[in-house]
Structure 1
């Protein structure tokens, strides 16, 4: 559960929680809130948030401000607020970042105080829920990554699953219903104070600033009782928990066997690989199950692909018929998609732009390495 930089006391707690959850599938944890406010947990959460950097939230506070105030003093006050149950999250600052298709994606930026608190909760909760997540889910998990998902898709194509439902969900993060999501959490967590924390984070108001600098606050998530903010430390775990419902539902209905199908998911990226002639039924079942989960399939972007006649994109790669550069022979495989190549080239241009500010060579090389590693 931990890594080399994780304090031994935190690792010990995470290992114990994971072992208990793994050994007893029906066990519900009831004394977790006090662990979130532990000094070592909050200190490590703060260190993680600091390493991730990130912009200030609605209060404008950054790490330099906390250094000036005193990190230990700041963490002590947060711990006290949690223990006395006076902690209340601040509104989320919403910004928009450009997507590859030219559209804008909303990103929620919490205050440092809230980010540290959410990360502390993640340190305690993730080992528990990691024991429950099925192998089909690859995102936001220790020891798992997008490249493993890509390799698994290629392996399934080779093993005789040539028909693919290339699925797209309409606003997955913004559509997750709070009541059902909290039921998924409560299946393992019966500590009401922890559930209340998560509920408060889900219902946080959102603050936006228009072109004239005017600020407006909305309570859309609380009013509609759906949606989790993209960008918050707790969102990846919650997104995985709700997607778990789909994966388990698919298996419980016997669709793996009857359709010869296998699922691979990475957050809201989803493909279903089937035996020949089964993709149409798989798509129908996908719509039905997602409807029961109160989610919508994006019909414009969801399609059936038959390999090797056709190609499909998944996690930045194009899958289908490839040709050897040496022999010219055809084979099944994958290559970087045109969209991902274009995105990397644009990122490199941005980093190395002559019109940009002068940078130390080592800093420039570091930025380029991060860009290429991410690709």
Structure 2
């Protein structure tokens, strides 16, 4: 963080009501260059077809025009290119907006400057799109909250088409609590109205912000900071009988309660609160679950099955450790597991005729990515299963390359001794899980 941004952070922390009226000059040519170079080399181009490498080569030609247009209130972001990606384990797909590379660099630079302020405001319950507050931190916080606090009930909540329904007027009102620089406000308004190109058609929406750009994640966090986080902390918690804890990862959140009555009351007022700000719960994905150290005892008394909760790609369940004490168990959620298996199968079809060395490198790349995310304490069995499935499918694919190339397990093990697959390993073992929590 530069000295100028450090001073902004100090001011924002010292005065929580201060509105910053001069920020655009912090979006410098150097910051845009840094943002551009931080993009992955395989970043998808926007509607102009310009790649990251092309944008780097031509940087001096376009950056001056961009800087001048920002200060003249004349910057016009290009429409984002819409692509559809499958939702885990579902037929329907999720729309993702792909901004042009240059616009993405500007978004990231703007988000860097604004985050300097909002990181002083955002609450501890907020994760996602924030430094050192990723999905693993949210999962560890949920684990520690349920294990160490007075929690007996968990409300799973899912917002219906969140990114597509953000109210633009409310977005600007929330941003203006802290941002008074008209050039920044103009930029945000133009990004919201930039439009989406799908095929040859361009659509300009009166609501929502396309998923895909850095500014979309920041605006979403700002929106829910005011709509949900602050409201829960200041208006809801003081009125409850027992303890309650909110854990939010962008638009995905769970709320833990000590008492069922508190959870039920909150569920009712939550619907009204969201409606006020043009948001809505997805009824099929929102439910109240008895969960915690007493859930097992109550389930036995009722003769019912222990319930599970779903959060950030994991199924969380009640279990006990070797000493017989309560603990939260977790495993890869079944639709996510199926998606991982499908990805391996599809990859093997694509790399069927590659050399074994190249196949190994590609498979290990996928396995490492899987272990890095899903390799959390308690989930070793499931990531080991992915490893074994990869082994089985790989051997089957090698055997099918020709009629004479059947690979026995003995021969396959010889191949693996030369070209080993990445063995399953926990990225966060039990000994480190607590350190990831943000309580």
TM range (shorter): 0.7 to 0.9
Query: Quick check: which has more Rg, 1 or 2?
Result: 2
**Alpha-carbon contact 1:321-1:330 (below 8 Å) kept:** no
2:7 to 9, 12, 16: 16
Computed over aligned residues only, the root mean square deviation of the Cα atoms, in angstroms, reads: 2.2
Other structure's SS at 1:300 match: helix
Whether 1:313 and 2:310 are equivalent positions in the alignment is yes
Tell me if structure 2 keeps the 8 A contact 1:14–1:123. Answer: no
Match of 1:87 among 72, 75, 79: 75
Residue 151 of structure 1 deviates from its aligned partner by: 1.8
TM-score, with normalisation over the residues of structure 1?
0.87
CA contact (8 A) 1:351 1:367 kept: no
Within 5 Å, give how 1:99-110 maps onto structure 2.
99-100=87-88, 101-110=90-99
Q: CA deviation at 1:315?
A: 1.1
Look up the match of 2:373.
374
Label 1:288 to 1:138 Cα distance change in 2 as closer, same or farther (>3 A): same
**Alpha-carbon spacing, 1:35–1:357, altered in 2? closer, same or farther (3 Å):** farther
Residue number in structure 1 paired with 2:245: 262
In the alignment, does 2:174 pair up with 1:184? Answer: yes
- For residues 222-301 of structure 1, the aligned pairs below 5 Å read 224=206, 226-245=207-226, 246-255=228-237, 257-259=239-241, 260-278=243-261, 279-301=263-285
Task: Give the unaligned 5+ runs of structure 2.
Answer: 296-305, 375-439
Measured in 1, the distance between the counterparts of 2:43 and 2:266 equals 40
CA distance in structure 2 between the partners assigned to 1:67 and 1:287 by the alignment: 47
Aligned-pair distance for 1:355?
A: 4.7
Q: Map Cα deviations across residues 302-352 of structure 1 (whole Å, 9 max, x no partner).
A: 11100133211111222222255x68x573312122233223333333344
Name the structure 1 match of 2:343.
347
Aligned counterparts of 2:286 and 2:165: Cα–Cα separation in 1: 17
Which residue number corresponds to residue 400 of structure 2? none
Counterpart in the other structure of 1:74 = 62
Count of residue pairs brought into register by the alignment: 352
Q: Any unmatched runs of 5+ in structure 1?
A: 1-9, 210-214
Q: Which residue of 1 aligns with 2:354?
A: 358
Q: Find the aligned partners of 2:316 and 2:188 in 1 and give their Cα distance.
A: 39
Name the SS of the counterpart of 1:79 in structure 2.
Answer: helix
Query: Deviations along 1:22-57, whole A, 9 cap, x unmatched?
Result: 111111111111221x121111121123x3642111
Report the Cα offset of residue 108 of structure 1: 0.5
Deviations 1:56-76 (A, max 9, x none): 1111111343355x3333333
Taking structure 2 as the reference length, the TM-score comes to 0.75
Cα gap change, 1:34 to 1:295, in 2 (>3 Å): same
Q: Which moved more, 1:75-84 or 1:358-367?
A: 358-367
